[in-house]
A and B are shown apart, each in its own frame.
Chain A
Amino acid sequence: MNNKYIPLAATIFVFMALFGFGSAQFDSFFSMRVFTNLFTDNAFLAITAIGMTFVILSGGIDLSVGSMIACVGVATAVLIEHYQLHPLVVFPIILICATLFGSFMGFLIEKYDLPPFIVTLAGMFFLRGLSFVISIESIPITHSFYDSIADFYIPLPGNGSLTVSTLILLTVLAGAVYIAHYTRIGRNIYAVGGNEQSAALLGVPVGRTKLFVYSANSFLAALAGIVFTFYTFSGYSLAAMGLELDAIASVVIGGTLLSGGVGYVVGTIFGVLIQGVIQTIISFDGTLNSWWTKIFIGLLLFIFISLQRLISSGLLLKWWPSDKKPLVN
């Protein structure tokens, strides 16, 4: 097996092991319903994490996604409830504004060479503040369109169901995999993350690539915010606190190197599913408290990061002969 697939394989293995553990432990765990619910419950996190994967692949980071989800939720709720706009009119407006916001952050990062950490931190403050300014109260969404979205699903055998959120997630996933592996912009993102200077010398449009990455990420975060309103039927300015960390953790557990240039979108999905399975196991158990989720995720982060270090330091090469040199540096 090629070295670069080890983190991805480890992630998938951990997911299956956790799911197997849950199935062995609890009676009704091993079912299509539990499996498809993982997607429905974590669709918003998965969509954000896919965007975050691209940002991290390009060697950057985006801390603003959690606030973006809250802000989109509040703005959507206000536009639908107070201004009586149809959701299908609201969504494009929100998505366009979010994408412009993302490209502005990308512009600051690219043009003035500011650290992504600080720029997106400011973005996080700004968006959270904006959602507070729009409304401090939680606004319920009562539009009939939302009811029809909640009622729609494609039934699967074994009580499983593909909800609208899941369908959106799967579409985004397909698009992301296509962009990452079959387009020029995808290759450019990997190149910029691998080594920005080399990429620039080879004629990769570094600036444009970064702009694309941050715009796309804000677009996806906004989409996740819309999916989140499908899930909660409301907009709340305190929603999704700290979600950016869950997204980053998913990306890391999914085997993407935080130094950029190496990783897979599919791994991120499994990173999200692992967090989802841990939560499901804890809720099935009933005696474990919710803070164990945080401790487990911290532990998993530690294991995966150590594994990555082990691989990139070349120690594994001795025991794991591969025909290709690993791409990690």
Chain B
Amino acid sequence: MITDSISVPREDRLSAIRTSKLFWPLAALALLLSFNLITDPSFFAIEYKNGVFFGSLIDILNRAAPVALLALGMTLVIATGGIDLSVGSIMAIAGATSAWLISHEVVNSLWLILAISLGVSLLAGLWNGLLVTALGIQPIIATLILMVAGRGIAQLITNGQVLTFSHEGFEMIGGGAFLGLPLSISIVICSYALALLLLRKTALGLFIESIGSNPIASHYTGIRSNLVKFSVYGVCGVAAGLAGLILTSDIQGADANNVGLWSELDAILAVVIGGTALTGGRFSLSTTLVGVVILQTLTTTILTHGLPVQYTLIVKSAVVIIVMLLMSAEFRHQMKSLFQRGQRSE
């Protein structure tokens, strides 16, 4: 982050680490992982077979990849003070488009398939952006429209069936490997690096944060907030499309009804766990990614410990409430006064 270069007096270093945005999410992740280390050391085993790594940790990263892409886009949208509920539907649309292109043999080149599917996702995202900026509709409602209609559109493309296909190049996206790791991990890392470059090496990130924290003041300082918002929704659409392509390629079929179902909620959850406030303003992509990994580690931990799948949702909901409470000023105040009262009575 930018603050790295500022020299900090020695005694303040500890508190600087503690107040760093990454501290609490990483601490939570470390807690989860050490729980696994104690109860099931084989959790950390990584095998190398046929040039590919296998293991629970790799599996976590691989499964987290689609939500990670969604969450990266969602972080930007939330930072501008918005929200995007339609990402799950955009995933379905992108998947359906690619499956339709392949199974109807419209185009055969991998790059064209990617370009067209992502182009459609971009249009879907820009549609959201148009509603939010030009019509001034609340983001939660504007994106609700595409959330409802998007799945219908995706089903229209696939004609209501699960479109299966086989395409050697396209199957690599979800099933391929690069440097021994699933290709999806590399896709996430590249997207993250690209986003970081665009946002932190240019003023764009600052613009987004300023729009989120005070839209009127940003307008007066000359930031073209509508253009920035419009593009951010477009970027979120493309990220969602990419996530949809990974999932579609992984199962070699487009299931318009179920692909990415509820993943918008997972993405929002990851952003919140990462500490980016839903009200907009300051954001951090790295903590969002940690949030995604926490959620997936939680799910995998529940599964590997033999707890039935159905407990995942209950644990997730408890985690959300605890994280939100820890972020609430009122709750911190209450805990603090409780703690102080306890000290006084001793």
Cross-chain contact B148 with A130 (CB below 8 angstroms): no
Cross-chain contact A114 with B155 (CB below 8 angstroms): no
A52 to chain B, nearest CB (A): 13
The interface residues of chain B, by DSSP majority, are classed as helix
Which residues of chain A come closer than 8 Å to B318, judged between CB atoms? 122, 126
Number of residues of chain A lying within 8 A (CB) of chain B: 44
Which residues of chain B come closer than 8 Å to A259, judged between CB atoms? 138
B309 to chain A, nearest CB (A): 8
Q: Given the interface contacts A118-B320, A302-B145, does A291 sit within 8 Å of B152 by beta carbon?
A: yes
Which residues of chain A come closer than 8 Å to B136, judged between CB atoms? 309, 313
Q: Given the interface contacts A129-B314, A298-B148, does A122 sit within 8 Å of B328 by beta carbon?
A: no
Q: Is A258 positioned at the interface, with any CB of B under 8 Å from its CB?
A: yes
Q: Is B151 positioned at the interface, with any CB of A under 8 Å from its CB?
A: yes
Cross-chain contact A113 with B330 (CB below 8 angstroms): yes
Query: Residues 293-306 of chain A: 1 if any B CB is under 8 Å from the residue's CB, otherwise 0?
Result: 11101110110011
Q: Which residue of the partner chain A has the closest CB to B327? A: A114
Which residues of chain A come closer than 8 Å to B189, judged between CB atoms? none
When chains A and B are docked, how far (Å) is the Cα of A299 from the Cα of B149? 7
Which residues of chain A come closer than 8 Å to B268, judged between CB atoms? 118, 121
At the interface with chain B, which of A8-16, A33-41, A219-227, A245-253? A245-253
Q: Is B310 positioned at the interface, with any CB of A under 8 Å from its CB?
A: yes
Q: Is A273 positioned at the interface, with any CB of B under 8 Å from its CB?
A: no
Number of residues of chain B lying within 8 A (CB) of chain A: 46
Q: Is B269 positioned at the interface, with any CB of A under 8 Å from its CB?
A: yes
Query: Residues 289-330 of chain B: 1 if any A CB is under 8 Å from the residue's CB, otherwise 0?
Result: 000000000000000000011111111111011001100111
Q: Given the interface contacts A117-B140, A125-B313, A249-B144, does A112 sit within 8 Å of B330 by beta carbon?
A: yes
Q: Is A289 positioned at the interface, with any CB of B under 8 Å from its CB?
A: yes
B199 to chain A, nearest CB (A): 24
Which residues of chain B come closer than 8 Å to A126, judged between CB atoms? 313-314, 317-318
- Residue from the set A130, A294, A306 with the largest chain B CB neighbour count within 10 Å: A294
Cross-chain contact B317 with A295 (CB below 8 angstroms): no
Q: B residues 147-162 with Cβ under 8 Å of A?
A: 147-153, 155-156, 160
Cross-chain contact B317 with A298 (CB below 8 angstroms): no
Q: Is B57 positioned at the interface, with any CB of A under 8 Å from its CB?
A: no
When chains A and B are docked, how far (Å) is the Cα of A245 from the Cα of B331? 31
- Residue from the set B148, B309, B311, B312 with the largest chain A CB neighbour count within 10 Å: B148
Q: Is B235 positioned at the interface, with any CB of A under 8 Å from its CB?
A: no
Q: Given the interface contacts A129-B311, A291-B151, A291-B156, does A112 sit within 8 Å of B325 by beta carbon?
A: yes
Cross-chain contact B321 with A108 (CB below 8 angstroms): yes
Q: A residues 110-161 with Cβ under 8 Å of B?
A: 111-115, 117-119, 121-126, 128-130, 132-133, 136
Q: B residues 252-284 with Cβ under 8 Å of A?
A: 265, 268-269, 272, 278
Q: Is B110 positioned at the interface, with any CB of A under 8 Å from its CB?
A: no
Q: Is B17 positioned at the interface, with any CB of A under 8 Å from its CB?
A: no
Partner of B310, one of A129, A248, A293: A129
Q: Is A61 positioned at the interface, with any CB of B under 8 Å from its CB?
A: yes
Query: Residues 22-54 of chain B: 1 if any A CB is under 8 Å from the residue's CB, otherwise 0?
Result: 000000000000000000000000000000000
Q: A residues 292-324 with Cβ under 8 Å of B?
A: 292-295, 297-299, 301-302, 305-306, 309, 313
When chains A and B are docked, how far (Å) is the Cα of A295 from the Cα of B318? 35
When chains A and B are docked, how far (Å) is the Cα of A299 from the Cα of B321? 35
Cross-chain contact B149 with A298 (CB below 8 angstroms): yes
Cross-chain contact A115 with B155 (CB below 8 angstroms): no
Cross-chain contact B328 with A61 (CB below 8 angstroms): no
Which residues of chain A come closer than 8 Å to B328, judged between CB atoms? 112-114
Q: Given the interface contacts A118-B272, A126-B314, A309-B135, does A298 sit within 8 Å of B145 by beta carbon?
A: yes
Q: Which residue of the partner chain A has the closest CB to B136? A: A309
When chains A and B are docked, how far (Å) is the Cα of A319 from the Cα of B144? 30
B212 to chain A, nearest CB (A): 15
Partner of A294, one of B148, B265, B272: B148
Q: Given the interface contacts A112-B330, A136-B310, A301-B145, does A122 sit within 8 Å of B272 by beta carbon?
A: no
Rank and list the top 10 A-B pairs by shortest CB-CB distance, nearest first: A298-B149, A129-B313, A294-B152, A132-B310, A291-B155, A129-B314, A126-B317, A125-B317, A295-B152, A122-B317
29 contacts between A and B (CB under 8 A): A108-B324, A112-B325, A113-B329, A113-B330, A114-B325, A114-B328, A118-B324, A122-B317, A122-B321, A122-B324, A123-B317, A125-B317, A126-B313, A126-B314, A128-B313, A129-B315, A132-B308, A136-B310, A249-B144, A252-B141, A289-B155, A289-B160, A291-B152, A292-B156, A294-B148, A294-B149, A295-B152, A297-B148, A305-B131
